[in-house]
DNA sequence: TGTGGATAGTTCAAATTTTAATTCAAGATG
DNA sequence: CATCTTGAATTAAAATTTGAACTATCCACA
């Protein structure tokens, strides 16, 4: 491992833009979802993931994985969503340990009310600010970064037997 | 306002890559900083911003702004950093209300120890996964998005007299 | 079989973040 | 000057997130 190279001007510009964009974007998106729908972005994501599924349900672990959240964090959020009737828990018949989180009709309805405004805002703030070329380059570049991170995570998990998150 | 347009496949791909990249990246970066240096990424950012300044100090508000954090959140974090001696508070002579957060020598030293590993990881996970073209496109595109968001935030603040955050 | 090691999910306490007041002082208004 | 509004920072309370136990299966295989 050689002497660490600092970031060049251009590299720093990209990294900064990335961090700032995320902060600014989620400041707005979170706030809008909360104000209009009483949902945090995480809750929205949970509902959205569930709705994308054939039976509108997922196991806790899968869901935690899908929304990139810790298991205990998900337990908490599902608890919240259950209290307000947007999600319901169901036990699995084959595996007593497993629990499914299921989107209720009410939850689906709420998601459908929330989605248009949310999507409009994503479009306005993110999509429309970039050219199609830039959008593609971003998807390709970050996609590759994601692939690498997933791969190296899988490796080290396999090597050490550790299971973080 | 017309019927809301859903995201196209390509748009969704970009948006997804963006969200996922941030989550994956910060999972790693946070963990590495915490493990190796006992710092959260926010704390690292605070130290870094302070170090970038001529006198290694900034007013609480400016700093909060710079690291995109709420004022009360910053109060908390500066409290933590102060306890471990990386930062020190100082009152302003002109304005009794104002407080400066100052990087201590110890803080600077800690930052200098932390930076190489952090930068190396940013490079490995983010920079090196993309081509220079992709990096430039990302910086340009997200830069434009940021410009717009800042502008529209400034507008609505001016118009309504509101001061969020 | 029955044991040891993964898995699934929850629980609890501690750390952090958020949100809504609160405290003081500066600046403007009249 | 008296008052009113704004600005800077903190405090207090509530909500959320983290991380380490803990409980209870499931599974492979000796």
Query: What is the pLDDT at residue A44?
Result: 98
Q: How many helices (H) and strands (E) does chain B have?
A: 6, 3
Report the CATH number of the B26-114 domain.
Answer: 1.10.10.10
Percent of chain A beyond pLDDT 70? 90
In chain B, which residues have their Cβ closer than 8 Å to the Cβ of A134?
137-138, 140-141
Query: What is the pLDDT at residue A151?
Result: 85
In this structure, of A95-109, A128-142, A146-160, B109-123, the range with the lowest mean pLDDT score is A146-160
- Check whether A128 has a pLDDT greater than 70: yes
Q: Parse chain B into domains and list their residue ranges.
A: 26-114, 126-158
More confident residue, B162 or B53: B53
A137/B134 Cβ within 8 A: yes
- Check whether B129 has a pLDDT greater than 80: yes
Name the residue closest to the C1' of C18 by its CA: B73
Summarised one tens digit per residue, pLDDT across range A74-105 is: 999 999 999 999 999 999 999 999 999 999 99
Min CA distance, A95 vs chain B (Å)?
30
Distance, CA of B94 to C1' of D18, in Å: 41
What is the Cβ-side half-sphere exposure of residue A50, based on CA atoms within 13 angstroms?
32
pLDDT band at A4 (very low <50, low <70, confident <90, very high): low
Name the residue closest to the C1' of C19 by its CA: B72
Residue-level length of chain B? 165
Contacts of B163 (CB under 8 A, 6+ apart): B157
Contacts of B84 (CB under 8 A, 6+ apart): none
SS3 content of chain B, % helix, strand, coil (to 5): 70, 10, 25
| DSSP letter (8 states) at residue B56 | S
Mean pLDDT of chain A: 92
Give the DSSP H/E element, type plus range, for residue B109. Answer: helix B105-125
Summarised one tens digit per residue, pLDDT across range B46-67 is: 999 999 999 999 999 999 999 9
Structure tokens at A127: 């999509």
Phi-psi region of A161 (alpha: psi -120 to 50; beta: other; left: phi over 0): left
Query: What is the pLDDT at residue B19?
Result: 96
Q: Report the Cα–Cα distance between both ends of chain A, in Å, rounded.
A: 29
Q: Is B131 helix (H, G, I), strand (E, B) or coil?
A: coil
Report d(CA B82, CA B63) in Å as an integer.
15
């Amino acid at each position: 491992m050689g002497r660490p190279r600092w970031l060049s001007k251009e590299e720093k510009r990209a990294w900064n833009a990335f961090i700032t964009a995320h902060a600014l974007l989620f400041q707005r998106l979170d706030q809008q979802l909360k104000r209009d729908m009483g949902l945090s972005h995480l809750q929205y994501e949970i509902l959205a993931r569930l709705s994308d599924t054939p039976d509108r349900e997922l196991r806790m672990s899968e869901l935690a994985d899908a929304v990139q959240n810790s298991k205990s964090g998900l337990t908490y959020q599902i608890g919240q969503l259950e209290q307000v009737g947007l999600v319901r828990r169901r036990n699995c018949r084959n595996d007593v340990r497993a629990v499914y989180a299921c989107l209720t009709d009410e939850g689906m309805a709420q998601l459908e009310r929330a989605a248009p405004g949310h999507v409009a805002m994503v479009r306005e703030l993110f999509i429309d600010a970039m050219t199609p070329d830039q959008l593609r380059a971003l998807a390709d570049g970050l996609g590759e970064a994601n692939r690498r991170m997933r791969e190296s995570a899988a490796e080290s998990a396999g090597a050490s037997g550790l299971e973080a998150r």
